A and B are shown apart, each in its own frame.
Chain A
Amino acid sequence: MKPAAEKLLAGFVDVIVIGAGHSGLAMSRFLTMRSIEHVILERGEVANSWRYERWDSLRLLTPNYLSRLPGYQYVGEDRDGYMSMQEVVAFIDGFAEFARAPVKTGTEVTSVAATGNGYHVITNKGEWITRAVVIASGAFNLPTVPAVSAAIPNTVRQITTRDYRNPNALEDGGVLIVGASATGLQLADEIHDSGRPVTVAVGEHVRMPRVYRGYDIQRWMERVGLLDESYETVDDIRRARRVPSPQLVGSDNRVTLDLNRLTDKGVRLAGRLAGMRDGTAQFSGSLRNVCALADLKQGRMLDAIDTWIDEKGLAQELEPARRFAPTAVNGSSSLGLDLKSGEIRTMVWATGYRPDYSWLQVPVLDRKGQILHDGGVAAAPGMYVMGLPFLRRRKSSFIHGAEDDARDLSEHLAAYLDQTASLRSFKVAV
């Protein structure tokens, strides 16, 4: 009886939020404050990706004092520290409770399709009719693994950063890490420290010091206004949305984790993984240039911070301005690595993530499978998206970025609900 019963209509509701991570919960908080009826459908538990899909040593890239959600913030002693994943989960859990968020856990959305003036949402626990949908299922659902992975010899074990937990689970022997964003560098660091020789394939990346002139770089980015920069004013929003996560790590001693730190330890660098031929990985000869691009970009950001400090007349109170050594690319960079020789036993794909919209039956995806939206207002009436990189602001994908986006989008959503016909006028055919 039960399985059949679950096929029945679970309910009518004005808004369905998909995903109970920080974005969906922040939206829920504003909807509640506006007395908009809604439910949050969550495939697993609150903060599921933080809870189950990240490696053991990961800590937030932003300092604790920046961790805040609408009406809720970090209140501990360690304002400059970085939360572990358990702490992040506890923080988001605490917010869900504080916000009395109407979360339905263990409820996986399998289809969202347009119907009448709203949407028909099918889950593993019944079906819903709703007037509006907020997609807050995250930007980091599926690891992006390049097609070239199919040509890797089967003697090399391949693992994505979603499945990686710690170095102990890897075989002894060499490790090739593909990707040089925060993830790639953090994994390179700890895998090297475990005694396994590491090579990192480095494409375009974003370099920044952890601490500058005595304060966390994220604090400077916030104060200078970089984190609040709008998607409407930034130069080339398409590119801004593709920028990989900066090379940062959250640690007790606030170290700067850049390529120089890794090469000083003995980690080898190679260019971007460009192809595979006869079991040999081929690396691009562009390593010097991608490092030069990142060094120059870092310099421009520090220039902007120094200018801001000077304009505010704060220079005397702070550590002096400084510049960091250019990324050292010693000798000739490796252009090939024989993956059949047994030297490399494991390949880690730190090549980023993409969202999973396989359940979305509404034509709002572009040819690259990305959702078409204007600052989170999707290209379908009553549909919204949250938590994507640079959705509305540079901080949009950060925990502390959810509040402003949710405020803006809930306002738009409320106006939409006011303008459109009430749910009761639907002709429902389920």
Chain B
Amino acid sequence: MSTQEVAIDNGVNVEALLGAREALTEAPEAAAFTWRASSTWVKGTHARSTVEKFFGLGEEQSHRTAYQYDTDHPEIFASEDNGSTPVEFVLVGLAGCLTAGIAAVAQNRGIQLHSVRATLDAPMDIQGILGIDSDVRNGFASIKVNYEIDADAAEEDIQALVAQSQKRSAVFDIVTNPTDVHVGVRKV
């Protein structure tokens, strides 16, 4: 009888990530990235945003292709609903970031994932954005993320994956901590 080594494969190249971590520890200037997006108003509350280029590893970089995203508001806001609302995009970003982190951490810890599903709920009192009550904030009152994960690991190890993913997540940091935002404008 022979034992079979089962290779863990979550589709994450952990060796490359760890190699990058080592290299960027030695060369911190290469770790300075800038992410970019551009956005054009279409009509009404509909805008179209594009991401393609970013800066990192000391030079200009590019995605495989330009990605376009439509944002709009639903019809109950008297809009045409040409895309998801911008606040939903924040949830998309958070889910995308946490789930990517879970896969990477699982790969690094030798945990085979079978399925990872997240549902996100983010209550918001729109009296804030409508200017009805100045005590109500514009943004989410809170965000609830609920994961259902099928993986070859104990319950605590799966919980630790999700906790570690939050600890290392950029979007989790962005939504849980203040960020200094500069908005400039010029007449053209």
- B105 CB to nearest chain A CB (Å): 12
Q: Is A296 a contact of B177 with CB atoms below 8 Å?
A: no
Q: Is A36 among interface residues, defined by CB-CB distance under 8 A?
A: no
Q: Point out which of A277, A284, A285, A299 has the most chain B C-beta atoms below 10 A from its C-beta.
A: A285
Q: Is B159 a contact of A274 with CB atoms below 8 Å?
A: no
Closest B residue by C-beta to A272: B177
Q: Is A427 among interface residues, defined by CB-CB distance under 8 A?
A: no
A274-B178, A275-B178, A332-B142 as given contacts; A289 in contact with B156, CB under 8 Å:
no
- A335 CB to nearest chain B CB (Å): 9
Q: Is A293 a contact of B167 with CB atoms below 8 Å?
A: yes
Closest A residue by C-beta to B143: A285
Q: Point out which of A238, A272, A274 has the most chain B C-beta atoms below 10 A from its C-beta.
A: A274
For A289, list chain B residues within 8 Å (CB): 163, 166-167, 172
Residues of B in contact with A, size category: 10 to 19
For A282, list chain B residues within 8 Å (CB): 177-178
**Distance between Cα atoms of A332 and B140 in the complex (Å):** 13
Q: Which residues of B from 67 to 97 have beta carbons under 8 Å from A?
A: none
**Distance between Cα atoms of A271 and B173 in the complex (Å):** 12
- A341 CB to nearest chain B CB (Å): 16
Q: Is B175 among interface residues, defined by CB-CB distance under 8 A?
A: yes
Q: Is A312 among interface residues, defined by CB-CB distance under 8 A?
A: no
- A305 CB to nearest chain B CB (Å): 15
A275-B178, A277-B178 as given contacts; A293 in contact with B172, CB under 8 Å:
no
User: Which of B159, B167, B175 sits near A285, CB closer than 8 Å?
Assistant: B175
**Distance between Cα atoms of A173 and B159 in the complex (Å):** 39
- A322 CB to nearest chain B CB (Å): 15
Q: Is A286 among interface residues, defined by CB-CB distance under 8 A?
A: yes
**Distance between Cα atoms of A151 and B66 in the complex (Å):** 42
User: Which of A272, A274, A293 sits near B164, CB closer than 8 Å?
Assistant: A293
- B125 CB to nearest chain A CB (Å): 13
A292-B163, A293-B167, A332-B142 as given contacts; A274 in contact with B156, CB under 8 Å:
no
Closest B residue by C-beta to A303: B156
For B167, list chain A residues within 8 Å (CB): 204, 289-290, 293
For A286, list chain B residues within 8 Å (CB): 166, 172-173, 176-177
Question: Could you tell me the dominant secondary structure of chain A's interface residues?
Answer: mixed
Q: Is B19 among interface residues, defined by CB-CB distance under 8 A?
A: no
Q: Which residues of B from 38 to 73 have beta carbons under 8 Å from A?
A: none
For A275, list chain B residues within 8 Å (CB): 177-178
Q: Is B17 among interface residues, defined by CB-CB distance under 8 A?
A: no
For B25, list chain A residues within 8 Å (CB): 238
- A362 CB to nearest chain B CB (Å): 21
- A140 CB to nearest chain B CB (Å): 25
**Distance between Cα atoms of A204 and B168 in the complex (Å):** 12
Q: Is B156 a contact of A299 with CB atoms below 8 Å?
A: yes
B134-145 toward A: CB 8 Å interface, digit per residue (1/0)?
000000011000
B13-36 toward A: CB 8 Å interface, digit per residue (1/0)?
000000000000100100000000
Closest A residue by C-beta to B137: A335
Q: Is A271 a contact of B176 with CB atoms below 8 Å?
A: yes
A265-293 toward B: CB 8 Å interface, digit per residue (1/0)?
00000011011010000101110011011
A286-B172, A296-B156, A299-B156 as given contacts; A274 in contact with B177, CB under 8 Å:
yes
Q: Is A2 among interface residues, defined by CB-CB distance under 8 A?
A: no
A289-B167, A332-B142 as given contacts; A296 in contact with B160, CB under 8 Å:
yes
Q: Is B159 a contact of A296 with CB atoms below 8 Å?
A: yes
- B80 CB to nearest chain A CB (Å): 33
Q: Is A367 among interface residues, defined by CB-CB distance under 8 A?
A: yes
For A277, list chain B residues within 8 Å (CB): 178
Q: Point out which of B156, B160, B176 has the most chain A C-beta atoms below 10 A from its C-beta.
A: B176
**Distance between Cα atoms of A238 and B159 in the complex (Å):** 24
Q: Is A284 a contact of B176 with CB atoms below 8 Å?
A: yes
For A284, list chain B residues within 8 Å (CB): 176-177
Q: Point out which of A272, A286, A300 has the most chain B C-beta atoms below 10 A from its C-beta.
A: A286
For A367, list chain B residues within 8 Å (CB): 28
Q: Which residues of B from 151 to 188 have beta carbons under 8 Å from A?
A: 156, 159-160, 163-164, 166-167, 172-173, 175-178
Q: Point out which of B159, B160, B163, B167 has the most chain A C-beta atoms below 10 A from its C-beta.
A: B163
**Distance between Cα atoms of A375 and B186 in the complex (Å):** 56
For B177, list chain A residues within 8 Å (CB): 272, 274-275, 282, 284-286
**Distance between Cα atoms of A244 and B164 in the complex (Å):** 17
**Distance between Cα atoms of A367 and B173 in the complex (Å):** 24
Q: Is A285 a contact of B176 with CB atoms below 8 Å?
A: yes
- A374 CB to nearest chain B CB (Å): 16
- A302 CB to nearest chain B CB (Å): 11
For B159, list chain A residues within 8 Å (CB): 292, 296
- A133 CB to nearest chain B CB (Å): 27
* 29 residue pairs A–B, Cβ–Cβ below 8 Å: A204-B167, A238-B25, A272-B177, A274-B176, A274-B177, A275-B177, A275-B178, A277-B178, A282-B177, A285-B175, A285-B176, A286-B166, A286-B173, A286-B176, A289-B163, A289-B166, A289-B172, A290-B167, A292-B159, A293-B160, A293-B163, A293-B164, A296-B156, A296-B160, A296-B163, A299-B156, A300-B156, A300-B160, A332-B142
Q: Which residues of B contact A (CB under 8 A)?
A: 25, 28, 141-142, 156, 159-160, 163-164, 166-167, 172-173, 175-178
Give 6 A-B pairs besides A285-B176, A293-B167 with Cβ atoms closer than 8 angstroms. A238-B25, A275-B177, A277-B178, A289-B163, A296-B159, A300-B156
